Amino acid sequence: MSSASNKFGLYLHIPYCAAVCPYCDFAKTANFTGDVSTAYFSALKRQLELWLAASARAGLLKDGISSVFFGGGTPSLFAAELQPIMRLIASFLQPGAEVSLEANPDDLQAEKLAIWRDIGINRVSVGVQTFDAAGLKVLGRTHDGGMAADRVAAAMAVIPNLNVDLIYGWPGQTEASWAQDLSRVVAMGVPHLSLYCLTFEGKTPLGRQAQRGVVKPPPESPIVAAYEAARTLLHAEGYDHEEVSNWAKAGYSCAHNWLYWQDQSFIGVGAGAHGYLADPNGPGIRYAYPRNDRLFSKSTLDVNGLVDATLDEVASGLGAEIDPDRDMDTWLIELLGSGLRTTRGIDFGTALARCRKKWQPTLVAGEAVKTGILAFTTDGRLLLRSDEWFREAGWAVEVLRSCVDI
Ligand SMILES: C[S@@+](CC[C@H](N)C(=O)[O-])C[C@H]1O[C@@H](n2cnc3c(N)ncnc32)[C@H](O)[C@@H]1O
Ligand code: SF4
């Protein structure tokens, strides 16, 4: 196990899906052939080589890579295609590094599971969303509930470190159906759960249907009730509620998630991928690739000039956009936004020192400290009480207002 000081992550985006779900706003396309994905994988490997070389030159790889995440899209469409990348990163991985792959239930066949295990994938995150037939229809999924349950069980037998994603708040969902979804994953002994409230993203077919009034997003109260039902059941079943959307059995925390929630660096490579390079003396660098997969593959055609480049030069040379307006306030609001909704909170003493600020609570923040909604630990961490994680954005702003320049 790696210690808190030597985390460094790698996110690789695979933007291909067998079919596109109407609610999904991630960088993805179902419009590809074998040639298109082959070109994409070779671009991904080439760009990763450049990122690794620049990271090594910047001294970021001294302790190696602590976690890798193949996200999508649907990385599980592929198996042997991932091997060249796994070979490339093998010598950089810390002992026991977590290597996750996002999967659709449809792809969890025995042959693929064996290949993933053999090439070093040691964690699988399966997007089940729901086992309910009506819900699967609303969400445009291609699996049925029984098949998803069978495939998840088969996958856990090969790769036991497994997460299931479920979605609540879909139009037509009932309390009983949500309770059934939860009890099903609990009964299966799934060790990590990500429970997401459906967002109606403006640019998606479902979002547009909601704008036109064709589908009706549920009101807030059943959504809050669904969240509370999950909190109560999963607490009773021995899951730790680690972050607003994530629950884990002991020993099954997702190291890669914690890296995002605790201001640690990660390189992101691929169409639509984001990366973050932390800087102990400043706001760090955030960059994002354009979302188009073919543009991504093309951007690798002429990159020989980048062999001795710095990390910023690699990012811009590969067509990623670096956020030019970051300052310490941006850094602090991001830290609060991601850290306050976790069980570990944030290292507030260090954060204030870095931003040259002091704690001068607003009336609301002062009252929240008195009532225990906000709490300071003896080692200088700031925690938000877990029943308020749902409203973390508001609390982050309140805490930010309470941090004044020295
Ligand atoms: C990018 S998807 C990739 C996983 C995989 N392709 C799948 O669909 O099973 C990761 C997860 O994000 C969640 N997600 C995607 N769009 C969402 C939305 N609009 N609202 C809530 N959750 C969403 C789903 O739970 C999904 O499993
Ligand atoms: S939810 Fe998963 S399968 Fe559906 S479009 Fe998004 S990435 Fe693809």
Q: Looking at ligand 2, which atom is closest to the CA of residue 20?
A: 5
Instruction: Kindly report the CATH number assigned to the domain that includes residue 90.
Output: 3.80.30.20
Read off the amino acid at residue 82: L
| Residue 36 covered by a domain | yes
Nearest ligand atom owner, CA of 245: 1
- Does residue 101's CB lie within 6 angstroms of at least one atom of ligand 1? no
Q: 127 alpha carbon to ligand 1 midpoint, in Å?
A: 6
Which residue minimizes the CA distance to atom 21 of ligand 1?
198
CA of 107 to the centre of ligand 2 (A): 13
**339 and 239 share one domain:** no
Same domain for 232 and 357, yes or no, is no
Regarding whether 186 and 55 lie in a shared domain, the answer is yes
Indicate which residue's Cα is closest to atom 4 of ligand 2: 21
Tell which atom from ligand 2 comes closest to the C-alpha of 73: 7
For tokens 């260090």, name the residue: 350
Return the biggest CA–CA distance within the chain: 61
* Candidate from 26, 28, 126, 185 with most ligand 1 atoms within 8 A of CB, to mutate: 26
pLDDT of amino acid 3: 43
DSSP sequence for 57-70: HTTTTTT-EEEEEE
Ligand nearest to the CA of 127: 1
- End-of-domain residue from the set 240, 260, 280: 260
What pLDDT shows up at residue 302?
72
Ligand 2 mean position to 385 CA, how many Å?
Answer: 32
402 CB under 6 A from ligand 1?
Answer: no
End-to-end CA distance of the chain: 38
- pLDDT at position 299 is 85
Residue range of the domain that includes 399: 328-405
The pLDDT value given to residue 305: 81
Residues touching ligand 2 (Cβ under 6 Å) are 17, 20-21, 24, 26, 28, 72-74, 104, 127
pLDDT number for residue 246: 98
Closest CA to ligand 1's atom 26: 127
In the prediction, which pLDDT does 54 show? 95
**pLDDT computed for residue 4 by the predictor:** 43
Indicate the number of domains in the chain. 2
Which residue is closest in CA terms to ligand 2's atom 2?
Answer: 73
Phi-psi region of 265 (alpha: psi -120 to 50; beta: other; left: phi over 0): beta
Backbone angles phi, psi at 113, to 5 degrees: -60, -40
Tens-place pLDDT, residues 51-95: 999 999 999 999 999 999 999 999 999 999 999 999 999 999 999
Spans of the chain, pLDDT less than 50: 1-4
pLDDT for the residue 6:
82
- Give the pLDDT of residue 304: 78
What is the reported pLDDT for 20?
Answer: 97
Question: Are both 371 and 230 inside the same structural domain?
Answer: no
Residue 296: inside a domain, yes or no? no
